[in-house]
Structure 1
Amino acid sequence: MPLPIRQMVGSIHGIPKLRQITNLNSHRRAAELLNSIPEPEPTRTSSVHETPAAHSPYLSSPNPDPEEAPLEAQEFSRYLLARSLFDTREYDRCAAVFLPESMLASIVDSKADPITSMTPKGKGRARSSGGRAVGSGPDPGAALPRLSQKSLFLALYAKVISGEKRRDEDAEMVMGPHDLGTVGNKQLVLVSRYLNAWFEERATPDGDVIGSQGWLEYLYGMVLAKEKNNEKAMEYLIRSVHLFPMNWGCWLEMASLISRVEDLNRIAKHLPQNIVSFIFHIHASLELFQQGPSLANSLDQLLEVFPTSSFLLTCNALLSYHAKDFVVAEQHFSRLLSLHPYRLDSLDHYSNILYVMGMRPKLAFLAHLCSNVDRFRPESCVVVGNYYSLLSQHEKAVQYFRRALTLDRTCLSAWTLMGHEYVELKNTHAAIESYRRAVDVNRRDYRAWYGLGQTYEMLEMHTYALWYYKKAAGIRPWDGKMWLAVGSCLERMDRHRDGIKALKRALLADAYYDAGSSFGSGGDVPGARGAGGQMDPDTLLSIANMYAQLGEVDEAKSYMELCLAQEDGGAGETDDRRFTESIAIHNDSPPGSDDGREGGGRGTGGGGEGEGTGVTQATSKARMWLARHALEGEDYVTASRLATELCEDGTEVEEAKAILREARARIDGGPS
């Protein structure tokens, strides 16, 4: 009787074709029957180090480790049951197969260390001959059970997932009156203490764990990261990728802990040198919003090896997206969608691009496609929310963003975009809370920092707005929009000298923003560069006005003339020292980000090759200021010419006529 049941369960879990035609409940029932059979008593001839085949001939790939192999073989039946329970999302039952709650609680309580943040290398702690730290004083009766690493990982990982599930169940409705975002995973402390005890038992004096396979290091690093112990978490995650580099989940955990380019460069020398590490470096750079020829060349090299890889094609599209080259990014995403029409990953970014470019038919098609593939994926809800936002149906957009967050409360795009919608609905309190929750999910999200600054600026709380704008500019130091926001805020705070420096930095930044960027839900964006690459007249006018407020008339006049020159696209003599002085270039600025690599039919700024902006409100104000200045400086010919141009443009005609009459009177030598 036992052999046919064992054969049935082994075949179900070992043969892919049969697994495809059986459901999860069949697995679970067969595994339960298998585990209900009493285990045979060991005979005197049985060896401690028997091969896995001696216990179960149905393990397809036995562990070569002589200590782990017999444990895995002995636990084979229970492992099948635990795996079946995990697949059916019965996580507590899965963990209890190997670690019953009573056993786990007694072990953790006996090994609880008051200093939980101690490094795993055991600095300053002597160890006994058995490897256990002297002075920890565990109860001998509460020793860790002898389990294989494979089974232990499954049990403890099920505990973590169980805690995540219960946390989501205990959380209130998204953005509801009691949703404070403070509900945590109560299983993390238990799992962390158990793993800490496990590593202490097996660690050598130099901190290495002999015979470790890397999975428990990955789990411990993930738990430590959730507990905000980032330095120790990174140490264990690096150990894990050295032991098992193909665990992409571990690489993703490492990427979530890297907040600056310096951090990425610092840990790069400690990583294994293989193709997975190379891919990780590209992914982490994109997560930090980096761009440049070197990153593009690295992606091209990988695409030569994996030309149809959906992940690498997505990275290529995101590279153009971060560079604000929306035309090329849209083309990449369109090709990706044609190759992988049922893949929903990163399509929320594609919907942002279509939204910015105003491609309503394509966005409608994308929303319909995502809803047909899986309407209960967070990405699908974000795409549909963007579509309703483009239709100016902001209440419906908020509804779909909330639905995305109900499915996944760590969906960064949903938090940020919902903040934009609340700004459109004039609900500043909800907008601030949405942006704050986005920052809690990912502190590298410059869009959320910018949104917080924008919202506080709407409330005329300029000190708060300036702080958040600076955070956004620190993450995107080569983004002109960030520096434009900083400079405008400083101008309103009458800090003109600092405001001039920030606006000059905005002029230098090689970034392109179109009206209705991803920061908001539409409308004109002040400071947007035209496709021809001219400098922004509003920015130049603001710099000139601040120089005028400081009494530096000559500098003010120079920038007024530069502003006026943008009408016909001729920047004139753009003396670089005027807006390059006193600008500290950030060390983490991406190399080559200002070399016009993006292409795509747009200019690279500063030249006179464009057609010009034509007459704008900013250039008319600059012309009026120059006319008054010329009149005060007794340059009546220039004043007359500028006033005549103002009359032709139809801007401030009455005042322009007054200047014109006075200038002509002075030229004729008569009374004014």
Structure 2
Amino acid sequence: MSLNDRETSQLRSALQEAVVKCSERCLYQSSKWAAELLNSIREPEPEPDMSLDDTELSDAPNSFTSPAFAPNPDPEEALLEAKEVNKYLLAKSFFDCREYDRCAAVFLSDSTVAGITTLREAVKSTPKGKGKGKATAGNPTTNDGQALPKLSQRSLFLALYATFLSGEKRRDEDAEMVMGPQDLGTCVNKQLLTVSRLLEAWFDERKTEDGEYADGQGWLEYLYGMVLVKEKNEELALYWLIRSVHLFPMNWGCWLEITSLISRLEDLNRIMPRLPQNIVPFMFHIHTSLELYQHDANLANSLDQLLNIFPNSSFLLTCDALLSYHAKDLVAAEQRFSHLLSLHPHRLDSLDHYSNILYVMNLRPKLAFLAHLCSSVDKFRPESCVVIGNYYSLLSLHEKAVQYFRRALTLDRSCLSAWTLMGHEYVELKNTHAAIESYRRAVDVNRRDYRAWYGLGQTYEVLEMHAYALWYYKKAAGLRPWDGKMWMAVGSCLQRMSRNQDGIKALKRALLAESYYDAGSSFDSGSGSVRGANMDPEILLQIATMYDSLGEEEDAKTYMEMCVAQEDGGGGAAGEGQGVAPGESIAIHDDSPPPGSDEDAGGDGGGRAGTATGGGGSGGEGGTGVTAATSKARMWLARYAMRVEDYVTAHRLANELCQDGVEVEEAKALIREVRSRLDAAEMSPPS
């Protein structure tokens, strides 16, 4: 993707306008996003010896005026904004000082709000066909004749947004201490109903005769969608949010609200045709795909195209780092985050993800440096508290880690990382009740958080409540279906429930998932065969054990041999001609998730801070070497050889076990038994 000069100029103008308009409405995060993107566009190269003399400058005084400061194109709105400019400046100054109630009262008095809200409630409670108490859509007046004030959309948005934030502030104040005995997570924003009713009244005023709504500027539509999201009315919220991005596509906050409503890749693909066609939906698709833990070649290519336009965009560089993280390429992800930090050393956004990577890689010096840096920039940002909490967790100071995660949640109760990581810490502290509550709150914040689903499964498994654990593991496995760690957890849980056939299917899927991630580090399709790839000997041993418990010794023998072959990187070589048909990998690939699982669930990692190492079995091309799993498999094969009276093979395997140093005593006993049987058969042991 490349833009010509005219398209680049238009993009720059649109972003300038977005910065100003978002800032005017106190949408500071959206304004920051647009401003960072604006300053990451490549500047045009100045032509040599190009200058303007004083005459040219005086002749064209307005030629360098940014279009971002142009007046409102709607003459009626422009007139209202001009009349309200003094009140608007007063209201905005109150908002900037976080005096939200004073800000709202500049344009909407308490009596006006109460009257309109009461009327809307009366209209909604009136049965259809009854004329009593009904107000016309075009004139939403209260019983005493009070109507919605004639305000510009900018001023009305500011007043209602201040009312909304006032409710959010009171909700946080009414909430108990995080994870305290009275903290049930049930506090709600009591201003949602008020804002919703006032917006309904405003939209009803603009409803045409055919029942459609006249187009606004996109801001009130965004606020209405945000309120509907809070009220869990997701379908209607999606309608208004999509309407908003059509009217003003540069409001990134609106795109984030749409992302929060998407839980599956199918949902994303379904709504993409409904979105406007410009560069922002392109970014939205990448961001939402990453939220859904996608990491394919198309996504990487799309991101590269955007980075050609915005080479130093902190937002896109973060997406690039997260792409590697989701593909389990931790080294590349760490390098990309390190590069991002060198470009923007005072930027704290997404550094909690960076700290997760450093934790998993056990890079304690770098994590200590990052914690110190975050603390020096702003120790009271949720991201800083999460980074410091991860550092204490790496030091095994779990109580201190919990303290910092709670501090992050005190600052922002919707901080997903803090809820999930605090759950991990409570697991380490053996406080299963608190761990379950933390994970549940994480899922409430973001139902796409596979780590929280996996954590719930782990915790219930500790409590030996395997049916619950299986359900949560399946939810996690659906979020990242190509993560072997999660399918291994599903298989192990099914094994404990004596559902060995289903467990074998899940573990075979885990094998394919691990081979997928081996290829996925370079963004290949990951659809290659399991055979020939390095596989986790633990998974192979578990499959073999389940086959053995089902009495299917030939299949058990095949997987035991495959397990032993992993020591020297043999992959599936040990299974050649022994029951692992080339088509088996395709059968595994086509397996649907076990009954009851969601198609949209996974789990990369396990119990801690986004562990991204999978099942932990691949030992690279050199193999895993001797492990406890391969020794157990070798012992099983030796005993199997004894049962089928293949004493030569049994003697060879027992000798190998003596050299392994894992099952030495048992191996020596087996050698003595082999020799006694050979002596009884008047045979000599092999030299």
What is the match of residue 101 of structure 1?
A: 110
Which stretch shows the higher mean deviation, 411-420 or 634-643? 634-643
What is the 5 A alignment of 1:41-120? 61-112=70-121
Q: 2:414 aligns with which of 410, 414, 417?
A: 410
1:552 matched to 2:552? The reply is: yes
- Is the 1:351–1:386 Cα contact (8 Å) retained in structure 2? yes
Distance of 2:475 and 2:321 partners within structure 1: 26
- Is the 1:324–1:511 Cα contact (8 Å) retained in structure 2? no
What is the match of residue 655 of structure 1?
A: 666
- Is the 2:264–2:600 Cα contact (8 Å) retained in structure 1? no
Provide closer, same or farther for how the CA distance between residues 266 and 140 of structure 1 changes in structure 2, counting only shifts above 3 A: farther
Say which SS state the counterpart of residue 567 (structure 2) adopts: coil
What is the 5 A alignment of 1:193-204? 193-204=197-208
Distance of 2:558 and 2:585 partners within structure 1: 11
Letter in 2 for 1:66: P
- Which residues of structure 2 form unaligned runs of 5+? 1-19, 24-67, 519-531, 605-612
State the Cα distance separating 1:114 from its structure 2 match.
6.9
The structure with higher relative contact order (CA 8 Å, sep 6+) is: 2
What is the match of residue 319 of structure 2?
A: 315
- Is the 1:385–1:398 Cα contact (8 Å) retained in structure 2? yes
State the Cα distance separating 1:275 from its structure 2 match.
0.6
Cα deviation 1:388-416 (Å, max 9, x = unaligned): 11111111111111111110000001111
Q: 2:285 aligns with which of 270, 281, 284?
A: 281
- Is the 2:537–2:617 Cα contact (8 Å) retained in structure 1? no
Distance of 1:71 and 1:632 partners within structure 2: 93
Distance of 1:578 and 1:513 partners within structure 2: 19
State the Cα distance separating 1:664 from its structure 2 match.
3.0
Letter in 2 for 1:548: D
- Is the 1:544–1:555 Cα contact (8 Å) retained in structure 2? yes
- Is the 1:665–1:671 Cα contact (8 Å) retained in structure 2? no
Distance of 2:467 and 2:281 partners within structure 1: 42
What is the 5 A alignment of 1:116-515? 132-133=136-137, 139=143, 141-510=145-514
State the Cα distance separating 1:649 from its structure 2 match.
2.4
Which stretch shows the higher mean deviation, 71-80 or 282-291? 71-80
Letter in 1 for 2:591: A
Letter in 2 for 1:508: L
- Is the 1:504–1:580 Cα contact (8 Å) retained in structure 2? no
Q: Percent identity?
A: 71
State the Cα distance separating 1:205 from its structure 2 match.
4.5
Provide closer, same or farther for how the CA distance between residues 227 and 589 of structure 1 changes in structure 2, counting only shifts above 3 A: closer
1:568 matched to 2:579? The reply is: no
Say which SS state the counterpart of residue 396 (structure 2) adopts: coil
What is the 5 A alignment of 1:595-610? 610=621
- Is the 1:480–1:507 Cα contact (8 Å) retained in structure 2? yes
State the Cα distance separating 1:296 from its structure 2 match.
0.3
- Is the 2:140–2:148 Cα contact (8 Å) retained in structure 1? no
State the Cα distance separating 1:209 from its structure 2 match.
2.7
Distance of 1:113 and 1:231 partners within structure 2: 24
Say which SS state the counterpart of residue 509 (structure 1) adopts: helix
Say which SS state the counterpart of residue 638 (structure 1) adopts: helix
Letter in 2 for 1:97: V
Distance of 2:489 and 2:406 partners within structure 1: 29
Distance of 1:462 and 1:372 partners within structure 2: 45
Which stretch shows the higher mean deviation, 202-211 or 402-411? 202-211
Q: 1:637 aligns with which of 643, 648, 660?
A: 648
Distance of 1:80 and 1:554 partners within structure 2: 81
State the Cα distance separating 1:284 from its structure 2 match.
0.7
- Is the 1:313–1:336 Cα contact (8 Å) retained in structure 2? yes
Provide closer, same or farther for how the CA distance between residues 126 and 321 of structure 1 changes in structure 2, counting only shifts above 3 A: farther
| Count of paired positions | 581
Cα deviation 1:477-498 (Å, max 9, x = unaligned): 1111110110011111111000
- Is the 1:631–1:659 Cα contact (8 Å) retained in structure 2? no
Letter in 2 for 1:145: P
- Is the 2:473–2:486 Cα contact (8 Å) retained in structure 1? yes
Letter in 2 for 1:456: Y
Provide closer, same or farther for how the CA distance between residues 395 and 607 of structure 1 changes in structure 2, counting only shifts above 3 A: closer
Distance of 1:178 and 1:333 partners within structure 2: 39
What is the match of residue 623 of structure 1?
A: 634
State the Cα distance separating 1:671 from its structure 2 match.
8.0
Provide closer, same or farther for how the CA distance between residues 205 and 641 of structure 1 changes in structure 2, counting only shifts above 3 A: farther
Say which SS state the counterpart of residue 213 (structure 2) adopts: coil
Q: CA RMSD in A?
A: 3.1
Cα deviation 1:414-471 (Å, max 9, x = unaligned): 1111111111111111111111110000000000000110111111111111110000
Say which SS state the counterpart of residue 343 (structure 1) adopts: coil
Distance of 2:276 and 2:287 partners within structure 1: 16
Letter in 2 for 1:67: E
Say which SS state the counterpart of residue 364 (structure 1) adopts: helix
State the Cα distance separating 1:70 from its structure 2 match.
2.1
Cα deviation 1:517-568 (Å, max 9, x = unaligned): xxxxxxxxxxxxxxx9621111111101111111111111111111111111
Say which SS state the counterpart of residue 182 (structure 1) adopts: coil
Cα deviation 1:76-99 (Å, max 9, x = unaligned): 221111111111111001111111
Say which SS state the counterpart of residue 567 (structure 1) adopts: helix
Provide closer, same or farther for how the CA distance between residues 549 and 136 of structure 1 changes in structure 2, counting only shifts above 3 A: farther
Which stretch shows the higher mean deviation, 660-669 or 539-548? 660-669
Letter in 1 for 2:441: R
What is the match of residue 526 of structure 2?
A: none
Distance of 2:249 and 2:681 partners within structure 1: 88
Letter in 2 for 1:429: H
What is the match of residue 36 of structure 2?
A: none
State the Cα distance separating 1:639 from its structure 2 match.
1.3
Distance of 1:589 and 1:105 partners within structure 2: 44
Distance of 1:422 and 1:202 partners within structure 2: 53
Provide closer, same or farther for how the CA distance between residues 220 and 624 of structure 1 changes in structure 2, counting only shifts above 3 A: same
- Is the 1:125–1:133 Cα contact (8 Å) retained in structure 2? no
Distance of 2:362 and 2:432 partners within structure 1: 25
State the Cα distance separating 1:143 from its structure 2 match.
2.3
- Which residues of structure 1 form unaligned runs of 5+? 1-15, 20-58, 119-123, 515-531, 594-601
- Is the 1:378–1:411 Cα contact (8 Å) retained in structure 2? yes
Provide closer, same or farther for how the CA distance between residues 332 and 651 of structure 1 changes in structure 2, counting only shifts above 3 A: closer
Say which SS state the counterpart of residue 566 (structure 1) adopts: helix
What is the match of residue 581 of structure 1?
A: 587
State the Cα distance separating 1:206 from its structure 2 match.
4.8
- Is the 2:617–2:624 Cα contact (8 Å) retained in structure 1? no
